[in-house]
Amino acid sequence: MRLTKLISSTLIFCTGLACAGDGKLIGTAGLNQLEGSGGGGIVPWATLSGYDTQDEVSVNAFITQVNLEDYRLNVLGASVSLYDRAEFSVARHVFDLTTLGGEIAQTVYGAKFKLYGDVVYSDWPQLSAGVQYKDLEDTAVANLVGSEDTSGTDIYLAATKVHLGAAGGYNLVWNLTGRLTKANQLGLLGFGGPQNSDYELMLEGSLGVLFSRHFAAGIEYRQKPDNLGLGEDDWMDVFVTYIPSKKVNFTLAWADLGSIAGATGQKGLYLSVGGQLW
Amino acid sequence: MVKPLLVIAVCVAILSGCASRSDTLYEELGGQAKINEIVENFVYEIEYNDTILPYFADTDIDRFMEKFAEQLCVFSGGPCSYSGDTMEQVHGGMNITEADFNLTVDLFINAMNKANVPHTVQNKLINRMTHTREQMLYL
């Protein structure tokens, strides 16, 4: 519902011919991360999804799957970026318990606002602040493991910078994000728990190299709280992204998500396809 | 008189930045011949781009090619000085949007690709040019 409204309001604003955004340099728009925000794979960045500049808007969609030892996360999402200033996103998570049976679904609504800069051109990193409101639909497992709430809001501040030619002539991109959160495993296991039910600050980072205008590779790290006392681990991934055009991107990653709901060693392939629809 | 002085000051500042390096970016690029090739390709790219071409409607193309080549020579640390107008003078009144600016960068990258400039050298050159962006946008 919210997405439909966003898209229609976008179409109302957008009457000129040049409003569909493709004005950024290829590869500098980033991707949509797991929770739907513009970013890398698991970390939200200061960049907004899509190639819109300050005179343009863009609409993006993505599909991501993470195949782990005992689970499979399916994500379907879309985002709207307005004038390279504000981004609104929706992501639907379906978390298959492939070993135990059953699934957990939740929806994440995101908003992000650029506070300062341009990821490529400003002297200092681009800076953005965002929120992710997460609404858990299947609450049985969250209740079982002792979580406090079945919905929650993450708040984050992200800084991202591209350094042209900085890595032996290759462009280097880094991102650092501070997130206030109560979410257990993205919120799929609820929010807060017996160990902790307060907001905690988690640090997340990404480092990538653009080996050409069309290939990027890098690493990401995401710190996680352990509110449930189930030994929730920090996440990390190593990724390769192929960006054949501003219309589409493909990402293949190896993700190590550690222990999830007591099942340790959750590693596997992360696959994502994203595209700009407008 | 102020203008050439400013230009010289900018040149000196840029040149001194790479004076200590054994190989200048200018040499890495392949000197003036390669720069001229990039500029020729760039003009060709612009000619065939309906969005960017109108910005050059009143431009003396020969003069543009000469001054832009000078500028690239200076940016890359070559033995030149820039004798053209300031970026603000050239682009004032054009109201260049961010999207059109970035599209022109794309065309410049095409021009470098067609001149077989390696990706890493392209990035280093663009890095030396980014400061001109704010002297060109929305004026």
DSSP state of B110: H
**Average model confidence (pLDDT) for chain B?**
88
Residue A57, pLDDT > 70, answer yes
Partner B, chain A 213-242, Cβ-Cβ below 8 Å: 213
Do the Cβ atoms of A154 and A177 come closer than 8 Å?
A: no
| ipTM of predicted assembly, 2 dp | 0.85
What residues contact residue B80 under an 8 Å CB cut-off, 6+ apart? B11, B70, B73, B74
**Best of B120, B121, B131 to mutate (most A CBs within 10 Å, chain A):** B120
Q: Cα-Cα-Cα-Cα dihedral of A58, A85, B87, B18, to 10°?
A: -100
Do the Cβ atoms of A108 and A134 come closer than 8 Å?
A: yes
pLDDT of residue B106: 94
Q: What is the DSSP string of B46-106?
A: HHT-TTTGGGGTT--HHHHHHHHHHHHHHHTT-S----S--HHHHHTTS-B-HHHHHHHHH
Cross-chain Cβ contact A169/B126 below 8 Å: no
Residue in A18, A169, A211 nearest the CB of B99: A18
Prediction pTM value: 0.88
Residue in B99, B106, B130 nearest the CB of A56: B99
pLDDT of residue A23: 82
Strand A267-276 to A38-39 pairing = unpaired
Give residue A34's identity as a one-letter amino acid code.
L
Of the listed ranges A7-21, A118-132, B39-53, B97-111, the one predicted with least confidence: A7-21
